[in-house]
A and B are shown apart, each in its own frame.
Chain A
Amino acid sequence: MTTPDNSDLFTNPMVEISEMHFAFSERPIFAGLKMAIPRGKVTVIMGPSGCGKSTLLGFIGGRLRPNKGQVFFDGERVPQKSGPPLFTMRRKMGMLFQSSALLTDLSVYENVAFPLREQTDLPEAIIRILVAMKLEMVGLRGARDLMPSELSGGMARRVALARAIVLDPEMIMYDEPFVGLDPISMGVIMKLIRELNDALGLTSIVVTHDVAEGCSIADYVYLLGEGQVAGHGTPEEMLNSEDERVRQFMNGLPDGPVGYHYPADPYLRDISTIE
């Protein structure tokens, strides 16, 4: 797919993935994946369930290593790093997990303060101000003293978001941020992703399979399929794409290049062999 108007997006990208191959035991997940994440934009990565969208974030964060190929973050090779250099690099990234991943034995305040306490020697007064600022951004300053078990799914995700931005990262990754939320919470998270990206000058990567929500916040969209990029472009380009695979996913068609039937023996032979 050619996207001539977007070429300026990709000078000096935040993340670059080149010819990446990866397999879970025998099952191939990525076969020569190539991708670039533009700086300062919201990039949405879509694809069917189980295509490796969330796994991809593991490679960018250095939690997984590819079998072949390279991953660059801000010009640095991610898979070659381990130990302290890897941790230093991760301080420039925030990540919002699907399950929010709040530490269950700590209050909202302590959860947001956790990265500050672990990574800095700031006095308590400063930590208090920073936590209040980040919680105010996500609208939960009043929930400071609650425990994670007392939060709704949407609130937990907002607290996790405040925690992810408390060290002022350059990039933030969202793993399925819309799953399991009611429409109001979903709207809040969408607004936050957009606003934080623009107000803090972040680079955002959103992994989702919700086409409507994804397209409405995206500056750029990647569609994954069969271990590679099946299509990419601005949301408008993707929605108007002529490509069969892109059209099937964007419009949610039950049959197409991704077949309705799981591979099987011919149907007639199967039902005519009753003896």
Chain B
Amino acid sequence: MMDWIARIGGSGLRYLGRLGQSVLFMFQMLSGAFRCLPRFSLVIQQLYAVGVLTMLIILVSGLFVGMVLGLQGYYQLVNFSAESSLGLVVALFLVRELGPVLSALLFAGRAGSALTAEIGLMKATEQLSAMEMMAVDPMQRVIGPRFVAGLIALPILAAMMSAIGVIGGYLIGYGLFGVDAGVYWSSMQAGVDLVDDVLNGVIKSIVFGFIVTWVALFEGYDALPTSEGVSRATTRTVVTSSLAILGSDFILTALMFGGL
């Protein structure tokens, strides 16, 4: 019994210790991010790796999500003869919630896991130590550019997802069910607010971009330098950042739209 309690206490302490380490890491990462900005070419290389390479999965998923929204939205709205609001419904769902959240979840799976594996392997093969011994700060040369790239890439990816989702909804609404094209677009134009909806969605995806890249980089940097350690860290990145995305989405939604 005592053993059991001690074990709970032990794992609690370990968890708190890691939490503290991750916050310390965040400050080092932020300082590295500022110091890497003068060499923006490093950030651009990483933008390709985390952004461009994630684009395909985001666009394909976005199209399907928009088509599903079109289908489900139409089936419900038609009951109330409100199918003219289809464009508005699809756009609000995407811009406020699904665009930022789904793109962040996909980003965590595609780019976050890749970042963790890359940094973990650099650590396991002593590349980070070698940089330190060459008087190069890995926070500035490796971590910083990846963080800035993640922070820039995710909001753009989320916007792409929302945009292509709206097109997917249009394909279903106009192409399949014959909703009037002008009504589809004008209901959107009239009902989607630039600040309340679009800007809040962008703020969400900036927060998610921060969380995912921070978790991914920390897990990679903190991984045990073995192949087993790196594979565990990769799993932890996807699990932790997915939970953090959904949890923080609830808080952000309550703050932004709940009038709290």
A contact set with B: CB distance below 8 Å? 61, 63, 87-88, 90-91, 93-95, 97-99, 101-104, 114-115, 118-119, 160, 163, 167
Contact = CB atoms under 8 A, between A and B. Distances in A.
B125 A95 contact: no
Looking at A91, A104, A163, the one whose CB has the most chain B CB atoms below 10 A away is A104
Nearest to B137: A87
B130 A97 contact: yes
A104 B125 contact: yes
B130 A101 contact: yes
* Interface bracket on B: 10 to 19
Nearest to B133: A95
> Closest 7 interchain pairs by CB?
A101-B130, A87-B135, A101-B126, A95-B133, A97-B126, A90-B135, A115-B134
Given A90-B133, A118-B134, A119-B135, A99 B125 contact: yes
Contacts of B121: 104
A160 B126 CA distance: 12
A118 B127 CA distance: 15
A87 B132 CA distance: 8
Contact of B141 (A63, A87, A118): A118
15 contacts: A94-B133, A95-B130, A95-B133, A97-B126, A97-B129, A99-B125, A101-B129, A102-B127, A104-B127, A114-B134, A114-B136, A115-B135, A118-B136, A119-B134, A167-B134
A101 B135 contact: no
Nearest to A90: B135
Contacts of B137: 87
Interface in B178-229: none
A61 B167 CA distance: 57
B125 A101 contact: yes
A94 B134 CA distance: 7
Interface in B86-103: none
Given A91-B135, A102-B127, 13 more contacts: A61-B132, A63-B133, A87-B135, A87-B137, A90-B132, A94-B133, A99-B125, A99-B126, A101-B125, A101-B126, A115-B134, A115-B136, A119-B136
Nearest to A57: B133
Looking at A90, A91, A167, the one whose CB has the most chain B CB atoms below 10 A away is A90
B241 to A, nearest CB: 24
Contacts of B141: 118
Contacts of B122: 104
Contacts of A115: 134-136
Nearest to B130: A101
Interface in B69-118: none
Contacts of B133: 61, 63, 90, 93-95
Contacts of A95: 130, 133
A32 B157 CA distance: 57
Contacts of A90: 132-135
A63 B132 contact: yes
Given A99-B125, A101-B125, A104-B125, A88 B130 contact: no
A148 to B, nearest CB: 10
A23 B96 CA distance: 53
